């Protein structure tokens, strides 16, 4: 199993590598660190061996050395340099070529510490990738294996693929699994009690079905979090340092593609932990766990 990691020689690149290492250690994956250089970058004269040399070759070699130095010895990693007009499109192309289970990138550099501000690369990935995308919060540096997977579940179309991936990923290395149903309460409505009860019923149904697909004795739990807003509901949850959240793509997404819906966007802005977004109708969960 391989993960494509969008690497840059900055904080975002380091965040992405740290998250990729943490997930790889929990899932037994190898990493493909990808440095993308613009296609219109100039070249200098050829080397004696006939190969063209980029004028920033030394910087590229430095980036390779620094990137690989971030990866612990127990995780297999390969460094790649590719040219492309679009960082996101190049990562997707590499992910498809390598049959990667996950694309990992860092959040935008102007985000608050351990919060998300989705930049142009992540935004493009979240609207086009056929492969699950993992987003590292700014300042993420934890490399120990993921301690628990939390899957946000809903009753709308699009959440099933995330549940499937969560079950396979958790079962693969016996990682504890938590299902969470979020309820946004409308103070003007008089049926919020029923909404909470319905969320509990649905969450328990998901948990019961999951029990049949997890190895015997595997730890799984369910919670319902509610608040006046989805952000408030997320803030009410307890989080482990080694938590990883999985959400499904919007029901508006094309088949096997990502599209981050309004609810997931709200959740993303509130999360203090990494998040993986799974494409709608993602069909390779069993053979490519996590993502």
Report mean pLDDT in 10-residue bins for the chain, 291 residues: 94 95 95 87 49 66 93 97 92 96 83 62 85 91 95 69 84 88 67 68 76 80 85 91 86 49 70 86 55 47
Domain identity same for 98 and 207? no
According to the model, what pLDDT value does residue 192 have? 59
> Is 266 inside a domain boundary?
yes
| Coil vs helix vs strand at 184 | strand
- Dist. CA 36–CA 183, nearest whole Å: 40
Q: For 41-87, where are the E strands, in sequence order?
A: 77-83
φ, ψ (nearest 5 deg) of residue 34: -115, 115
- Per residue in 42-80, pLDDT (tens digit) is 544 445 455 555 566 777 888 999 999 999 999 999 999
According to the model, what pLDDT value does residue 44 have? 42
> Is 251 inside a domain boundary?
yes
> Is 285 inside a domain boundary?
no
Domain identity same for 174 and 75? no
According to the model, what pLDDT value does residue 28 have? 93
State the total domains in the chain. 2
Domain identity same for 224 and 108? no
What's 51's DSSP letter? -
DSSP 3-state helix, strand, coil percentages of the chain (rounded to 5)? 35, 20, 45
Dig out the tokens for 97 from the structure.
């070529």
Radius of gyration of the chain (CA): 20
CATH of the domain at 87: 3.40.50.620
Pairing between strand 133-136 and 275-278? Answer: antiparallel
Q: Starting from the edge strand earliest in sequence, which strands make up the sheet with 30-37, in order?
A: 77-83, 30-37, 2-6, 102-106, 133-136, 275-278, 243-248, 148-153, 177-184, 220-227
Domain identity same for 226 and 178? yes
Domain boundary among 115, 136, 157: 136
């Amino acid at each position: 199993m391989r993960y494509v990691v969008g690497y840059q020689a900055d904080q975002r690149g380091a965040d992405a590598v740290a998250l990729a290492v943490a997930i790889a250690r929990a899932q037994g994956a190898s990493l493909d660190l990808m440095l993308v250089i613009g296609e219109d970058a100039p070249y200098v004269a050829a080397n004696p061996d006939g190969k063209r040399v980029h004028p920033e070759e030394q910087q590229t070699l430095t980036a390779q050395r620094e990137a690989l130095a971030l990866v612990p010895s127990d995780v297999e990693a390969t460094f790649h340099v590719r040219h492309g007009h679009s960082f996101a499109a190049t990562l997707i192309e590499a992910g498809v070529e390598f049959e990667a289970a996950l694309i990992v990138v860092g959040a935008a550099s102007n985000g608050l510490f351990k919060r998300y501000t989705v930049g142009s690369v992540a935004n493009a990935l979240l609207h086009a990738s056929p492969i699950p995308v993992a987003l590292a919060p700014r300042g993420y540096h934890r490399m120990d294996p993921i301690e628990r997977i939390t899957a946000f579940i809903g009753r709308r179309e699009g959440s099933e693929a995330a549940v499937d991936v969560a079950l396979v990923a958790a079962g693969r290395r016996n990682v504890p699994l938590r299902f969470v149903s979020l309820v946004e309460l409308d103070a003007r409505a008089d049926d919020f009690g029923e909404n909470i009860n319905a969320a509990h019923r649905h969450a328990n149904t998901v948990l019961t079905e999951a029990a049949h697909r997890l190895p015997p004795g595997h730890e799984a739990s369910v919670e319902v979090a509610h608040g006046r807003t989805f952000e408030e509901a997320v803030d009410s949850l307890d989080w482990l340092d080694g938590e990883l959240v999985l959400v499904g793509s919007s029901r508006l997404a094309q088949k096997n593609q990502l599209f981050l819906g309004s609810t997931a966007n709200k959740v993303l802005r509130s999360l203090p932990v990494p998040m993986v977004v799974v494409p709608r109708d993602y069909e390779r969960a069993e053979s490519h766990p996590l993502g």
